[in-house]
Structure 1
């Protein structure tokens, strides 16, 4: 009996391990996703400041629109390209998407005014491959290990943004805004090579976006809550970074090339303080608690930012608090989507999730820029806090599966 039990336990542990193919596919797709998101995020920490070197760059509304523009075309193209990947395969669709991303980056690098940056960002957004990448992860993994693989991909977003906060000011200081866009295009080319030659080929799952129905996702209450949550998170992120770089420059006396000196300790401190929360969430299966507490923390931090924005140290402290919550939520939510979405329409659910994320990027950049252009910096923070409070109310009804 003991031998049989031990054998069953050993077989169960083996099933919960990633196979070599699953591990390689998951790691490569996470790297692909991280590199692509790094290419998108590199602009965020400094653009509001360095855009002023371009004609039209003093208009905060146009700067915010250019910052978030790729999110609009991402939102439009996510699901069509996800469905196209069901029909023609993940690899060719992702390669084509990365070509568009590279072309858009080159247009931005050669831009002589803010309007051409806007055009390039729109073209970058046409390469909306997030849903296709996450569907490829689903193809490459068994259901019992898929959540872990999805968490790897989701966690790469937070890591990419953290890296962008440090690398972006350094690249701008060395090579200027044009050089930053050339670096973004290079990252796109690296992603193209990974997608074309490195990620292993795997059979596509039978259940696909093409077979699923939109009303299945739109009628699923918990998926709607998660979609609204990722919209709010990226709306807040983009609106915050329409105004934060300028405040740090003004209050701390930092130039754009020196902002990494602020961002690096902020990110390191937020990651150190985030680890216990993530450990508690996973060991205690406290996903709902982590979700509610993190969103509540956003409400409080953003509500305090108008007061903190008059002094450098309080503003930095609030940024640390923001990034603790942001990093937890950025890793937690994609994992929760994978948990609650039924297998028959997991791909389509991820497509809607990525669409909501992209819409948040666009709306946050556009509305944040519009408010900042009128000198209403405090309004940006308070609007974000109000949005986070609405998110908190919706999150309370969330019922995660084990």
Structure 2
């Protein structure tokens, strides 16, 4: 990876981590401490936890549509401001309804898809799966850290203190946004004359993207349901307190990710993304079946979770990369917005379903989740390999008009996309080598004022 890509991963990864930790520290403790709020009932406590996911599901799409028409960074900043404001409202709440309003406000700052689109803008095609895999590990690790540290901190700072931390993390995330390079996207197709309906229709017509949305929905439905069902089972079967359970999740997550890394490399380098993707769903389905049959003993729980985390890390890594390859260049954020909405709606449904399954037998509870992943596999199975384009990094010539230069580059046959980072004097070219001719190669070499190995 080059220095621009490393800066982008550091900045975007830091923003994701701060948001996720701030959000999920509340989840394992609110069921207990939520009773302290006026008018609290079990239903309203659950609503206060889940309303964030619903807000994310609703607002991802409009935020992403805007990010395909306008620069991405101001929209991300708006989302972080809303996230911080929601934390402040919840921190000052005296009744459960104010907490719900604060969580809903925080959820309206739905910029996960825009962050992924920004990261895709500033990473080359060959580095994208690695970048997205890093984001997947960052997100998953942040969730686990939140589950581990939330219960440890609430005794000393209280539930309102956790909400204040959420707001503080949002402010830190705003600072990190300035670390991320600011790209200028130059596209062959302009969105200025497209309506929102046309933007959505363009993306929704692509069947393989819809299959990826189903995949992320099933992934986060089962993940959320697991964390509703599992704590009580870890207590009953392994004698672990809520404080101790985070220390079980972390090593399993890291082992699962280490095992997943070679398959992530194979998916990209060997162009086996479809095989790796479908194999991951098979592994997750089998892991949930193992939990259905073996969760009465500790080793059954540990092995089931280990295999689940392997599949989880693979899907988290490959889905954003796949979308960035398959989505129309001008509709990348819109496609990622639909995917993020599916993700958070899956989390919302998974939380509700997990609550219903809590009172059922282990065999039925885990069996239902295994059946959901199995059904997703059948629906997704016809998916085709994503298109594989090549990319190259060039130094922008000095003393030129960047806008005029960009348009000349985009006019060359075989150039699919151009991302310019003027401050760094660097540009990424996404190329379709099947469309490149000797003439177009010479044109590009002339425009960048150096020979290109393409």
Matched, 1:186 2:168: yes
Unaligned runs of 5+ in 2: 389-454
Q: Which moved more, 1:50-59 or 1:292-301?
A: 50-59
Q: Which moved more, 1:288-297 or 1:117-126?
A: 117-126
Matched, 1:198 2:184: no
Q: Hey, what's the Cα distance between the residues in 2 that align with 1:244 and 1:66?
A: 21
Partner residue in 1 for 2:23: 40
* Contact kept? 1:239, 1:364, Cα under 8 Å: yes
Partner residue in 2 for 1:292: 278
The correspondence for 2:114, drawn from 110, 132, 149, is 132
Q: Which moved more, 1:226-235 or 1:86-95?
A: 86-95
Q: Give the structure with the larger strand fraction.
A: 2
Post-superposition shift, 1:173?
A: 5.7
Cα deviation, 1:72-131, whole Å, max 9, x if unaligned, reads: 111111121223334553222222211221222233344556554433322211000122
Q: Hey, what's the Cα distance between the residues in 2 that align with 1:57 and 1:267?
A: 34
The correspondence for 1:27, drawn from 10, 23, 33, is 10
Higher relative contact order (CA 8 A, sep 6+): 1
* Contact kept? 2:67, 2:333, Cα under 8 Å: no
* Contact kept? 1:64, 1:242, Cα under 8 Å: no
* Contact kept? 2:56, 2:108, Cα under 8 Å: yes
Matched, 1:156 2:138: yes
Partner residue in 1 for 2:370: 385
Q: Which moved more, 1:26-35 or 1:360-369?
A: 26-35
* Contact kept? 1:172, 1:256, Cα under 8 Å: no
Q: Give the structure with the larger helix fraction.
A: 1
Alignment of 1:245-260 (within 5 A): 245-260=231-246
Partner residue in 2 for 1:261: 247
Aligned length: 381
Partner residue in 2 for 1:270: 256
Q: Hey, what's the Cα distance between the residues in 2 that align with 1:100 and 1:83?
A: 18
* Contact kept? 2:129, 2:318, Cα under 8 Å: no
3-state SS of paired residue (1:399): coil
TM-score (norm 2): 0.74
Post-superposition shift, 1:36?
A: 2.1
Alignment of 1:94-133 (within 5 A): 94-111=76-93, 115-133=97-115
Distance 1:331 1:48, change over 3 A: farther
Partner residue in 2 for 1:243: 229
3-state SS of paired residue (2:330): helix
* Contact kept? 1:82, 1:131, Cα under 8 Å: yes
Unaligned runs of 5+ in 1: 1-16
Post-superposition shift, 1:23?
A: 4.0
